[in-house]
């Protein structure tokens, strides 16, 4: 006697939909909306918008200077590591300081940049060297992320960070008492970011939930104290 056909119950992994070998986007979700990491970056900059003032330097473009400057920006410059960026007003190397004026800026906005610089310790020293006294660095670094294909082609993609490494890197240069490091993310946000879903495809509560075991992104606020 033939047994009736029975459907095998889906595994827990299958029930969660974790069956794809391909992401839904290889552009961090930028082709679907706002990348998940940018949700955290923009909240961080909005919370520290009072620091975006005076003489401001930003990497690659002026977008965040314009969004968060609130009319307190006296001058705006763009740093790029090589010629070819039409928005760049300064072409220079954070690791060596070449091309970058020293003690010239009140605020430096450096988002998702440090991982494509091999000599990270020298680059962190470079961020302090370009700041005027009491100047503020607003930086972000990736913890959980796909490889940056464009960044790797141009500069290499060298590092991912934790709160431990970020606190030590920046604390050694700025002084531990002058550095604030915060991790952001959870397993859901991290998985969605890796698959390429956009921030709009999660709700704010899902994005804001913090799990210290899943450091998707670190934010760093560091102040150059001279006394």
Is residue 1, in this structure, part of any structural domain at all? Answer: no
Is residue 201, in this structure, part of any structural domain at all? Answer: no
Is residue 110, in this structure, part of any structural domain at all? Answer: yes
Is residue 85, in this structure, part of any structural domain at all? Answer: yes
Match 């495809």 to its residue by tokens: 201
Q: Determine the pLDDT at residue 9.
A: 83
> Each residue of 19-67: pLDDT tens digit?
999 999 999 999 999 999 999 999 999 999 999 999 999 999 999 999 9
Is residue 16, in this structure, part of any structural domain at all? Answer: no
Are residues 221 and 138 in contact, defined by beta-carbon separation less than 8 angstroms? yes
Q: Determine the pLDDT at residue 41.
A: 98
Is residue 20, in this structure, part of any structural domain at all? Answer: no
Angle between helix axes 187-195 and 36-47 (nearest 10 degrees) is: 120
pTM of the model: 0.94
> Each residue of 163-186: pLDDT tens digit?
999 999 999 999 999 999 999 999
Structure tokens at 18: 């974790």
CA contacts within 13 A on the Cβ side of 13:
3
Is residue 7, in this structure, part of any structural domain at all? Answer: no
Are residues 89 and 81 in contact, defined by beta-carbon separation less than 8 angstroms? no
Domain count, the chain: 1
Over range 199-227, report the average pLDDT.
97
CATH number at residue 164: 3.40.50.150
Structure tokens at 190: 């991290």
Which range of residues forms the domain containing residue 131? 43-185+210-223
């Amino acid at each position: 006697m033939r047994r009736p056909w029975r459907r095998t119950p889906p595994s827990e992994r299958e029930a969660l939909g974790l069956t794809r070998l391909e992401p839904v986007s290889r552009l961090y979700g930028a082709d679907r909306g706002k990348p998940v990491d940018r949700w955290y970056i923009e909240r961080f900059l909005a919370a520290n918008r009072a620091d975006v003032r005076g003489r401001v330097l930003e990497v690659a473009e002026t977008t965040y200077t314009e969004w968060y400057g609130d009319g307190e920006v006296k001058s705006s410059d763009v740093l790029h590591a090589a010629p070819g960026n039409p928005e760049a007003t300064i072409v220079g190397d954070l690791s060596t300081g070449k091309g970058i004026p020293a003690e010239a800026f009140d605020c430096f906005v450096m988002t998702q940049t440090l991982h494509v610089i091999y000599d990270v310790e020298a680059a962190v020293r470079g961020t302090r060297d370009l700041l005027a006294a009491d100047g503020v660095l607003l930086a972000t670094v990736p913890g959980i992320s796909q490889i940056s294909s464009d960044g790797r082609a141009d500069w290499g993609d060298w590092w991912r960070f934790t709160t431990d490494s970020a606190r030590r890197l920046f604390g050694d240069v700025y002084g531990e008492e002058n550095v604030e490091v915060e991790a952001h993310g959870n397993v859901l946000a991290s998985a969605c970011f890796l698959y390429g879903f956009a921030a709009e495809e999660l709700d704010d509560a899902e994005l804001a939930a913090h799990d210290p075991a899943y450091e998707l992104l670190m934010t760093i606020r560091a102040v150059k104290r001279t006394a």
